[in-house]
A and B are shown apart, each in its own frame.
Chain A
């Protein structure tokens, strides 16, 4: 990271604190005023107008001129644009008008398809991502994707080899850049579209001056056009034109002592390690009757339950049975999926899942890995389809709190140090009671070639890896 960024670090922290104080003041205002102010604040944040727009170290203020120049040419909502009505920005391109050959790369580079099923090639991808898929250079942690995780992420039902796009140095064949897409039906407000989820865009950090990213984005767009798909969804820590919403990370300590030792969390004034450990202590065993790992025989019921639950959100995927099978049946070290079965009726009443994405701890004498579990999809029949009421919300809150407490216990049993969740779906109902603390990271949701009215974080029902 550059010198000037480092100098800015302290003021940014102060801004975050100011925002926090503001939140406290806000809590004393009447409810309707609170809601309006929150919405206003969020809009200001998204527009990048002061406020807490750049609170948090990983929510960086946008765009060098270079970035801006590229995004100006792309079908995305402009920063100063207010969307009144949803719809495409550009019309679909007829197949015969789609460019037939790959975009030319700067000489000395060549296109490649990364064979994710091949052990040698997935190792190359794993190494590229592990060493280069980071936002800034003075980070204390570095994502440590496993080969099994990447296979899970990149080979879901309907995956396409043509969308695992790599770039190699022509002379020595070293893999130096990557972008991927996976197909997914996504509903935004009332429109269901076949979209592509773009992920793992990564350029070797020593080659960032070669400006490969725009070519990768153009090329993956061309290849999705060839498949008759014209919309994409992606998430990023950085602010680009223009976020649909901005979610904040929340963290639940499972191994508080280790988290303090590696600098992930901090002991506040007058907080002792002893009290911290006591505060985060969990029961040894889960308590929800009928809780068990999801099995093949549950797939149809889970699909139905999950889609019904997700219908309550404004931005959510639609799952088929094969998707449920792929994403939620447990894979050792990668993903854990659980259901609650009513012991009398045999009905599946609840479902939750989490995945593992560890990070390497840089320069720590005692610890080398941070084992992080990330909250994935979940659903409950409690209050499902009920008329909105304080009572229905309360019941859902209690049920989710019980389920997620068990998720925390299971994560702890599997040696995770921390359980992470964004403030999307119904997570805000239980995070405070379950002692999640706010993180310093944010995640922005984006749509490519789709105008979309702003969406509150608790109406987002899509979780991306």
Chain B
């Protein structure tokens, strides 16, 4: 069936040579056609002054290499031959170009057979089978399984609810906490948890943020350390001179957060900052390094 569609599409293109297509499109179609009908290019490289021949030869070679590469990357399609993929590619180009080609199933004998097979169902005397036929109805789908499998997967609206993966349950993940819904997008919140750009913007607007603390006594540096955001940690320490020994309401320094959350790279950096005090205990008496897992 794929071959029928390919023949029909290529016959259409041959009959419509007057279509004013860009040469890149013509070359792409040429390369797909050659790969589909003759396979890999074995001809010697034409002389460079034969411009048209050279361009065609190159297109053919490049298309072949591209298909082989794609084939190697898609574990689904290792069984497809080069020619199958080239035919599909050719058909898709002709479809996408919208030059007026439509596939008429009556062009081919195989399709005539299949359409009579599918047009009507009559009672078979087996009630279950009749019900099934009634459900399945007429197969309007003219694209063969082989071709569908070789095509890239495109979800089709309305089809995902087919009971196709009926016994599958989605992979449940943790429901979002309700409070997320209420979170206001304030400057401080995005500086705490967002990107380095949002941090810079917030501090530019209000430089006092660098030493400000939130309701848990945490500074921006505490937050950056908790999240392991090394770029923000460096900027806060080196550019904005944030206090590397600041203690929050539980007595924890930025380094405590680094060890509790487990960010070795950030830990190495903080310990290298001049003036860092490794001897600060939090209110439970723990030094930062004692939280190392």
Contact = CB atoms under 8 A, between A and B. Distances in A.
A157 interface: no
B92 to A, nearest CB: 15
Given A70-B135, A106-B139, A207-B148, A17 B173 contact: no
A237 to B, nearest CB: 4
A143 B149 contact: no
Interface residues of B, number: 66
A106 B136 contact: yes
A237 B149 contact: no
A131 B165 contact: no
Main secondary structure of the interface of A (DSSP, over half): mixed
A441 B162 contact: no
Contacts of B114: 107
A234 interface: yes
B44 interface: no
B179 to A, nearest CB: 5
B126 interface: yes
Interface string A249-287: 101010001010001111011101110011000000000
Interface string A122-145: 000001000111111101111100
Given A135-B165, A174-B149, A214-B163, A140 B173 contact: yes
Nearest to A143: B171
B164 interface: yes
B145 interface: yes
Contacts of B117: 107
A8 interface: no
Question: Which of A16, A63, A99, A249 is packed against the most chain B CB atoms within 10 Å?
Answer: A249
A234 B164 CA distance: 14
Given A174-B79, A236-B168, A438-B175, A136 B160 contact: yes
Nearest to B173: A264
Contacts of B157: 2-4
Contacts of A1: 155, 160
B60 interface: no
B262 interface: yes
A34 interface: no
Nearest to A218: B132
B261 interface: yes
B139 to A, nearest CB: 6
Nearest to B215: A270
A108 B167 contact: no
Interface string A69-90: 1110100000000000000000
A359 B173 CA distance: 12
